[in-house]
Every structure is written in structure tokens, then in C-alpha cells.
């Protein structure tokens, strides 16, 4: 493993650090470096507060939001429920931004959100859509559990789009079941390794398909570029998981992926929530594809509405920031959410 710098405030800036990627070829490091150079607003200023726009990237400052102080507030806010009036109020706080590459920083200059306006050449959107279509032919998505805050309006939304249209979630991940000790090894989700051989085969073929491997590799390269030191932590955990679970290893033939969990959302509408099972200072990545319009990604605490159209990728501090999507219109909408649950970091004693 690579020893990380102690001074976390300097992690994002400074010179290029190829020593963070010792296992990769020169070609792969060059791909990471390209994203790195294009997605860091400035190499000279001491923190995110001094950064300015550049031709390929718009920079937003959020002086009213601080990652340092949000923890004390989260403990009491995460149990809130939101009715229609409250959701409309939250939507009204989120102003739609242009569909352009953008980054948001908090009051101390910490990166909060990184938006890549697609479609990216390295992500084969049509092939991803085909992979989703093939998956749902064989696999009926799971109805979210009643207590899931992000899916509180699932049944209402399913009735709205029509029950003949498949809707739900398929979790292809390893995790600790609720109320199980994090000192014990995680288990594959029931969606990943199902009692049904047909479903298990469909899930494995989707996760190991050429299109989804290409996307997962690209997501890892992007993450390595926008936050190389946090990426290193995620990648090290992935490597350790792969050494213990053959299924995780088989999903990473190019030895570059960093997120253990791939969560697929099929024709879903998510309601306001925080992802409380993620690492507090960690990230999730989200790719959305399909044939739809509207459906902005709303982040009320920043007053942001991200266009979030087919081919777009968003990296988000999902534990820190409430988020949800507005209603969309169209026949199909698919999201892949990439994450590693905090319990896995705890089990491997790799928390940060």
C-alpha cells in the first residue's frame, strides 16, 4: 500500500503524484493524469476558496456549508420525513445550473461535488443502456424496503409510470446486514447471489459485461483524478476485498476498479435523503443513462440543481449532502451508483 500524506489539506493540490498509482501501466497513469490536469482549477492557491473558473470547468464556492460542522447536525436530521409541500419547498431552493463541467467547494475549500457533463467518449452510453435492458429482461428489480428514506415514494411513483414498466433497485454489492456485527465478514447482497440461478447469472453477466467493466474502470480513473488520496483508500479496500472474495476479483479484470458496490436504479424516483451507510468523508459516483428529460439532481444545502441528463457523471459527498431527483419524463431511466459502505472500511480497519 502507498503511505498517504498526513496533511489532508494538501491532498488535492500540488504536483502530480504518480507514486499513488504504482500498480498501473504508463498508459493508465496518463489517462488519470489527463483527467487530473483538466479537473483541478488551479495548482497554486492554498485551498478551494481561491480557485477560479477555467475553460473546461466552472467553479462554485459554498461559504455557507462546512464539512467540519455538518456532523453534529446530521445525527438529528437524518430521520426526517418529507411530505409533498416540503419536497416542493426543497425543489424551489435548487437553481438549475448549466450542463457544463463544474465543481463545488465548501467554506474551508473542501470539494463537495464534481459534475461531469456527458456524454463522455470513454463511457459507451448505448451499450450501457443495452446492458440494462438485457438485465431487466431476466431480472425483476427489487422493491425497496419500506424504511428506505431515498425510496419513500416508490409505490406512488410506480403507479404514476405504470405497473407494467419495471421499476426498482438491484444491488450488486457486498455489505453487512442490518444489526450484524461489522467485525464479521460482509456477505454478497441477495440481488448479487440470489436463490434463483437465473437471477444470479443475469446479475453476474451484467456486472461482468464489457460495457459495465468499461464504465467501472472509467469511474475509477475519474475518481483517481479528482481526489487521488481518497481514491487510494478506496482502491486499497477493493484490493483487499478482491483477495478475500473471488466474485469481487472477477469483476475487475483490468485491476483498476475502486468501488465494491454497484447499485442499479431502474426507473426510480429518489426522495430527499442522506446516504448514512457511506463513509462520512467518502464519495459516491453516479452515472445516469436512458431516454428521458428533466429529472434534475437536487442538492438543497448547496442550492444546486444539476441537469443530470443521459451520460452525465456526478461525484458526491453523499453522507454529507442531502440529495434527490425531481420528477422526470420519458420511457426509461437507469442509474448506476458506485459506493463502498462504511461497514466494509470498519471491518478492514481502514476507516478515515
φ/ψ of residue 11, rounded to 5: -60, -40
Q: What is the pTM of this model?
A: 0.91
Contacts of 321 (CB under 8 A, 6+ apart): 112, 113, 274, 299, 301, 302
Expressed as residue numbers, the domain containing 177 is: 86-95+116-347
Domain contains 65 = no
| Distance separating alpha carbons of residues 81 and 108, to the nearest angstrom | 30
Domain contains 102 = no
Q: Which residues of the chain have pLDDT under 70?
A: 1-16, 40-53, 71-80
Q: What DSSP assignment string belongs to 112-129?
A: EEEEE-S--TTS-HHHHH
Domain contains 100 = no
Domain contains 169 = yes
Grid cell of 316 as nine digits: 458526491
Tell me what pLDDT residue 41 has.
61
Residue with cell 488520496: 229
Where helices occur in 16-167 by DSSP H, the ranges are 26-38, 70-77, 84-92, 125-138, 154-161
Number of domains in the chain: 1
Tell me what pLDDT residue 37 has.
76
Q: What DSSP assignment string belongs to 55-68?
A: TTBEEEE-TT--TT
Domain contains 31 = no
Tell me what pLDDT residue 129 has.
97
Domain contains 217 = yes
φ/ψ of residue 233, rounded to 5: -65, -45
Say if CB 292 and CB 311 are below 8 A apart: no
| Distance separating alpha carbons of residues 91 and 258, to the nearest angstrom | 32
| Distance separating alpha carbons of residues 74 and 321, to the nearest angstrom | 9
Domain contains 108 = no
Burial status of residue 32 (CB atoms within 10 A of its CB: 0-12, 13-18, 19 or more): buried
Burial status of residue 7 (CB atoms within 10 A of its CB: 0-12, 13-18, 19 or more): exposed
CA distances from 105 to 66, 110, 132, 226 (A): 9, 5, 33, 13
Tell me what pLDDT residue 47 has.
54
Tell me what pLDDT residue 261 has.
97
Domain contains 255 = yes
CATH number of 132's domain? 3.60.130
In this structure, the number of other CB atoms found within 10 A of the CB of residue 145 comes to 10
Closest CA to 79 of 307, 288, 323, 276: 276
Amino acid at each position: 500500500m502507498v503511505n498517504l500524506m498526513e496533511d489532508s489539506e494538501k491532498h488535492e493540490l500540488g504536483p502530480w503524484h504518480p507514486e499513488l498509482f504504482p500498480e498501473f501501466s504508463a498508459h493508465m497513469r496518463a489517462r488519470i493524469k489527463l483527467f487530473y490536469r483538466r479537473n483541478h482549477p488551479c495548482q497554486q492557491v492554498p485551498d478551494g476558496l481561491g480557485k477560479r473558473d477555467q475553460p473546461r470547468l466552472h467553479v462554485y464556492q459554498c461559504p455557507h456549508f462546512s464539512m467540519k460542522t455538518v456532523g453534529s447536525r446530521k445525527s438529528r436530521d437524518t430521520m426526517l420525513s418529507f411530505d409533498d409541500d416540503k419536497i416542493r419547498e426543497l425543489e424551489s431552493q435548487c437553481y438549475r445550473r448549466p450542463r457544463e463541467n463544474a465543481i463545488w467547494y465548501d467554506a474551508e475549500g473542501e470539494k463537495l461535488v464534481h459534475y461531469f457533463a456527458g456524454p463522455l467518449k470513454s463511457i459507451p452510453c448505448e451499450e450501457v443502456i443495452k446492458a440494462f435492458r438485457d438485465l431487466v429482461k431476466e431480472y425483476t428489480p427489487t422493491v425497496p424496503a419500506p424504511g428506505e428514506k431515498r425510496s419513500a415514494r416508490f409505490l406512488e411513483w410506480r403507479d404514476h409510470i405504470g405497473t407494467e414498466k419495471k421499476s426498482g433497485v438491484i444491488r450488486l454489492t457486498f455489505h453487512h446486514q442490518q444489526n450484524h456485527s461489522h467485525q464479521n465478514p460482509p456477505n454478497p447482497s441477495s440481488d448479487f447471489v440470489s436463490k434463483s440461478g437465473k437471477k444470479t447469472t443475469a446479475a453476474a453477466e451484467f456486472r461482468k459485461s464489457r460495457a459495465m467493466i468499461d464504465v467501472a474502470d472509467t469511474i475509477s480513473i475519474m475518481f483517481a483524478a479528482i481526489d487521488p488520496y481518497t481514491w487510494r483508500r478506496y482502491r486499497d479496500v477493493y484490493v483487499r476485498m478482491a483477495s478475500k472474495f473471488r466474485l469481487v476479483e472477477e469483476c475487475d479484470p483490468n485491476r483498476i476498479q475502486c468501488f465494491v458496490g454497484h447499485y442499479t436504479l431502474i426507473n426510480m424516483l429518489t426522495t430527499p435523503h442522506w446516504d448514512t451507510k457511506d463513509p462520512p468523508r467518502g464519495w459516491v459516483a453516479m452515472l445516469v443513462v436512458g431516454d428521458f428529460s428533466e429529472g434534475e439532481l437536487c442538492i438543497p444545502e448547496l442550492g444546486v440543481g444539476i441537469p443530470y441528463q443521459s451520460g452525465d457523471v456526478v461525484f458526491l459527498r453523499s453522507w454529507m449532502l442531502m440529495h434527490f431527483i425531481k420528477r422526470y419524463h420519458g420511457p426509461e431511466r437507469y442509474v448506476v451508483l458506485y459506493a463502498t459502505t462504511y461497514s466494509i472500511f470498519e471491518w478492514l480497519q481502514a476507516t478515515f
